[in-house]
């Protein structure tokens, strides 16, 4: 008995050691980023490298909001929040409805149509940027939120994931609801969706981080400074002659905070929810 406890403790110690090393390795670049945002521009790239700033530049964060009158960062953040929230909601809508439809109904062409949807995963943004821009312009939604939101809400990965999940839900609940006389859409909304909560939350974080950091499409689509999103703001810092690194890094730190908070917030439900999603008999 004792040797078993000892063995466990050794295993525990080793695990924690590995975790400590991992934490260090994974967090190190992030620390560097945060610390460098407090350095003076010339110190960021100095030789020999200094981990800590030789002179603390508290102004970099303030400068981000005050020194660049054309770059209205609060506005960029607001735009990013609007676009990301709506794109994610729209993504949830598409993925949940299509996933449910493919998983729970046996209609002609189910497999073929699903393959069609799945095939779109292979369509990279870079390849379709120009035709998509022309199309969006024809629709009149270029340089607008919807021009960003709609294309950014489409991902076959979401449909794939939700279909997988809905497969796993036994049909019994649905059958009994049908017998009770509920219509299909009510069943979807009242039974299917709640059961899918954890998958939906996972999809939220996956898709949110993609949309939040997307640069190429907004860059081409949005020329109006008022509608720019945050990645464009960060990229704009790279001046032709001169890049103010501390400010750029400061913005990057600010930019990742909402997603970090979102993840921390969601992961509580996520982990709990998964262990609770017992549809076990």
Partner 1 sequence: MARKVLLIALVVLLVVTFTVAAAKKKLIAYHWTETVYDPINMRAVTMFEAKHPDVEVKLLLLPDADRPNIIRTVIAAKGSIDTFALDNGQSAEFFAGGAMIPIIPKAFGKATVKDVVNMWTPGAIETCGGFWEGQYYGIPYELSDYVAWINTAFMKEAGLNPATDKPKNWDSFVTVSKKLVKQQGGVTVRNGFMCNSKAAVFNFLVISAMMEQLGLDWGSEKGFIASMDDTDMLTKGLATYTDFVVKHKIWDPALAENDREGFGNGKSAMFLTGGTWYWGVLDTYSVKRKDVEPFPYPRFPGGKDIGGMGYGYCLYVSSLSKNPELAFEFIDTMASQPNEFIKQGYHQPRVKLSNGAQALDPKLAAASIPYYNQVFKGELAKTAVWLTSTKEKQAEDAVWAAISRVIYENNSVEDSVAQLEQEVRSIFE
Partner 2 sequence: MNVLGVGSEDVLFLEGRKRMPKASYSVTRLQRHGYVFILPTLIFFSIFLVYPMISAFRLSFFDWNLLKPKVYIGLKNFLTMVKDARTINSYVRTLHFSGISVAAINILAFIFAIMFSSRLIRWKNIWQSLIFLPVVLSIVAVGVVWEFMYQSTGIIPVVLRKILGASPVWLTNTKAAPYAIIITYVWKSVGYYMVIYIAGLLDVPSSFYEAARIDGAGFWGQLLYITIPSLKNSIALAVVSCVIFTFGQFSIQFVITQGGPSRSTEILALLIYRQAFELSKFGYSAAISVLFFLTMLIFSLIQLRLFKSGAVGA
Restricting to residues 117-156, which ones interact with partner 1 according to CB under 8 A? Answer: 129-130, 133-134, 137-138, 142
**Which is nearest to 79 in space by CA: 15, 30, 152, 131?**
152
Give the Cα separation of 199 and 164 in Å (integer). Answer: 10
Minimum distance from CB of 67 to partner 2 (Å)? 19
If the CB atoms of residues 187 and 227 are measured against partner 2, the closer one turns out to be 187
Minimum distance from CB of 255 to partner 1 (Å)? 17
Give the Cα separation of 21 and 36 in Å (integer). Answer: 22
- Residue 156 site contact among partner 2, partner 1, none (CB < 5 to 8 Å, cut-off depends on kind): partner 2
C-alpha radius of gyration, the chain, whole number: 24
If the CB atoms of residues 3 and 275 are measured against partner 2, the closer one turns out to be 275
Q: Which of residues 138-167 bind partner 2 (CB under 8 A)?
A: 150-151, 153-154, 156-157, 159-161, 163-165, 167
Total residues belonging to the chain: 281
Under the criterion CB under 8 A, does residue 41 sit at the interface with partner 1? yes
Give the Cα separation of 106 and 84 in Å (integer). Answer: 34
Under the criterion CB under 8 A, does residue 241 sit at the interface with partner 1? yes
Under the criterion CB under 8 A, does residue 15 sit at the interface with partner 2? yes
DSSP state of 225: G
Find the binder of partner 2 among 27, 62, 186, 189 (CB under 8 A). Answer: 27
The alpha carbon of residue 26 and the mean position of all alpha carbons in its chain are separated, in whole angstroms, by 19
Region binding partner 2 by CB under 8 A among candidate stretches 59-67, 68-76, 81-89, 198-206: 198-206
DSSP state of 182: -
Q: At a CB cut-off of 8 Å and minimum separation 6, what does 40 contact?
A: 53, 54, 55, 57, 246
Q: Helix/strand/coil (H, E, C) string of 136-171? A: HHHHCCCCCHHHHHHHHCCCHHHHHHHHHHHHHCCH
Under the criterion CB under 8 A, does residue 107 sit at the interface with partner 2? yes
Q: Which of residues 197-226 bind partner 1 (CB under 8 A)?
A: 219-220, 223-225
Region binding partner 2 by CB under 8 A among candidate stretches 15-23, 52-60, 69-77, 81-89: 15-23
Binding stretches for partner 1 (CB under 8 A):
41-42, 45-47, 67-70, 129-130, 133-134, 137-138, 142, 219-220, 223-225, 235-236, 238-244
């Amino acid at each position: 008995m004792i040797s078993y406890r000892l063995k466990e403790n050794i295993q525990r110690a080793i695990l924690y050691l590995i975790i400590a090393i991992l934490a260090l390795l994974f967090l190190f670049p992030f620390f560097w980023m945060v610390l460098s945002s407090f350095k003076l521009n010339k110190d960021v790239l100095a030789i020999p490298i200094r981990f800590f700033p030789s002179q603390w530049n508290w102004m970099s964060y303030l400068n981000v909001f005050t020194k660049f009158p054309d770059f209205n960062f609060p506005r960029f953040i607001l735009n990013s929040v609007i676009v990301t929230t709506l794109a994610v909601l729209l993504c949830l809508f598409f993925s949940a409805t299509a996933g449910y439809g493919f998983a729970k109904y046996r209609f002609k062409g189910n497999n073929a149509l699903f393959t069609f949807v799945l095939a779109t995963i292979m369509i990279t943004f870079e390849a379709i940027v120009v035709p998509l821009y022309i199309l969006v312009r024809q629709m009149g939604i270029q340089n607008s939120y919807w021009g960003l939101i709609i294309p950014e809400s489409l991902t076959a990965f979401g449909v794939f994931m939700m279909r997988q999940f809905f497969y796993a839900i036994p049909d019994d609940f649905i059958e009994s609801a049908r017998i009770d006389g509920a219509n299909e859409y009510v069943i979807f909304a009242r039974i299917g969706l709640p059961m899918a909560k954890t998958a939906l939350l996972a999809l939220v974080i996956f898709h949110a981080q993609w949309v939040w950091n997307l640069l190429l499409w907004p860059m081409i689509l949005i020329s109006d400074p008022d509608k720019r999103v945050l990645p464009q703001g960060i990229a704009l810092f790279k001046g032709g002659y001169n890049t103010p690194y501390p400010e750029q890094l400061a913005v990057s730190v600010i930019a990742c905070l909402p997603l970090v908070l979102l993840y921390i917030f969601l992961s509580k439900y996520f982990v709990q929810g998964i262990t609770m999603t017992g549809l076990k008999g």
